[in-house]
Amino acid sequence: MLSPKKLRSGPISRGILPLLIATLLIPSAAFARLTLKPDFRFSQELDSNVFNRESADSDFVTRVAPAAMLEFLDDLGHMRLRGGLRSRSYADNSKLNAIDKFVNFDVKRSVTKRTTLTSKGTFDWREQIDQVQDADVVVRDARPDQTKQNVSLGFIHSLTPTTNFSFSGGFRNENWSSIPLAETTSLRRDSDSLFATAALTKALSGNDAVRATVGFDDTSYDGAMGITGAVAGEDTQTISILAGWARAWSNVLATDVNVGFRLLDIDTDSTATQKGGSESSTGLVGNLKLTRVFPKGKLELSVNQETRPGSGVSSSLDVREFKALYEGKLSERWSYDIQGSMKDRESASDRRVEDTAAPRVDLPDGMGGTFRAIACNDGTFSPTILNLCTRENNIDVRLFGAKAKLNWRVRKDLFSFLSFEFRQQESNGSAKLQDYDGARVMLGFRYAPPIDLSR
């Protein structure tokens, strides 16, 4: 059976490449345009809490992001290739300076009147950040070099004039370079994933459409070592089944709702201090989106609920997210947007199996003999053969965010913006995180002159 861990050897990435090349070689229609789109962004910001901790440290940050996109358009679809750099420079905390790189592509091509092929990919390379200390206190863990890949290939097929079937599948992975153990308490876990999604959409009328979606994800996490001890490798398998309904209530009001459930299986490896095992859970998955159009703006409200793997910090997490976005237009050159969000992450289970390195003791069995038991941290005892010890593992984190942004189109290819952003984190439970709040003011410019290469 194909395992996500085999992705690192490269056969899947090598297998997708010929398919992408074949997609690109599909004959083009009569109309075609090739455009190069340079994109240069510069911004200066003041951040009141660059380390996101209770004791806030402010700093000025300069961000420079040059990029370019090559876009091919014709009657059959599009092909886009984009790459660039993202650099940040801190006035007082130079150890946070870094230059990240990225490349992504997006392909959509009609191969017949009823079938369209799609493919997307993102590749990110993030530069190492050194550890930051204030006296003897570590205020920011070191972050090693990181690479991320996400590639998918799929198709959309029209079964009837009102019914479409779509499928996409691919892989993603996340890899970290090694850093000295003493420089970080965070878990940097390499992971590899295979995923697939299939959806059937049926238009009932001009205003209504229903759909059924099935998704699968198999992710393998490597074991990791932190100052607090070893964390076992894990393999999580997730199956989600959803039913959806989209409706346009009028020309200015539309809703989109999806409801279903997610089946989650987690297999944990054993370590010297942790017993391996398996567990399964079922969680509710659902989201609702409302869109309201106004004469000079658009409002979007969304609610999302899901249960997902805790990735070594918890058996599984219930995640709830609320978002609001309003985009408005003041004139031909001036626009603005206001957004807010709240995200809750809470453990689906408050306890987890205790590590197996706890002391062993001999206890009387009531029949004149003794039995071997584990001395649990909460003062109870468990027979060694059962290992019923558990430990508190409750996670309850709430994140707030709000942002207001004013946009000015200086001329056709030159843009400027001014934004204010607020963020806050609150947490409770045995796995409590540091509470903090912070604000960011940013002034930036963007220059993006398209260059037509078809002439």
**pLDDT confidence tier of residue 309, bands split at 50, 70 and 90:** low
Q: How far is CA 192 from CA 79, 163, 218, 310, in A?
A: 27, 34, 8, 16
Strand ranges in 31-161 using DSSP code E only, listed in sequence order: 32-47, 59-74, 77-90, 98-110, 115-126, 132-134, 137-140, 146-160
Does residue 341 have a pLDDT over 80?
Answer: yes
pLDDT digits (tens, 9 = 90+) for 68-99: 999 999 999 999 999 999 999 999 988 889 99
Domains along the sequence of the chain with CATH: 4-111+183-191+226-350+393-452 (2.40.160)
pLDDT, residue 273, reads 54
**pLDDT confidence tier of residue 20, bands split at 50, 70 and 90:** low
pLDDT digits (tens, 9 = 90+) for 143-183: 778 899 999 999 999 999 999 999 999 999 998 877 555 54
Euclidean distance between CA atoms 153 and 120, whole angstroms: 7
On average, the pLDDT of the chain sits at 82
Q: How far is CA 300 from CA 22, 48, 104, 267, in A?
A: 39, 29, 27, 39
The answer to whether 407 and 335 are in contact (CB under 8 A) is yes
The two tokens of residue 276 are 């391996």
Euclidean distance between CA atoms 88 and 440, whole angstroms: 15
**pLDDT confidence tier of residue 372, bands split at 50, 70 and 90:** low
pLDDT, residue 233, reads 77
The answer to whether 291 and 298 are in contact (CB under 8 A) is yes
**DSSP state for residue 433 in the 8-state scheme:** P
Residue bearing tokens 């209530």: 249
pLDDT, residue 349, reads 55
pLDDT digits (tens, 9 = 90+) for 205-223: 889 999 999 999 999 988 7
For residue 20, give the 3-state DSSP assignment: helix
pLDDT digits (tens, 9 = 90+) for 2-11: 555 554 444 4
Euclidean distance between CA atoms 152 and 120, whole angstroms: 5
pTM above 0.85, yes or no: no
**pLDDT confidence tier of residue 432, bands split at 50, 70 and 90:** low
- State residue 358 phi and psi, 5-degree precision: -60, 155
Does residue 300 have a pLDDT over 70?
Answer: yes
- Percent of the residues in the chain that have a pLDDT greater than 70, as a whole number: 71
Euclidean distance between CA atoms 326 and 338, whole angstroms: 5
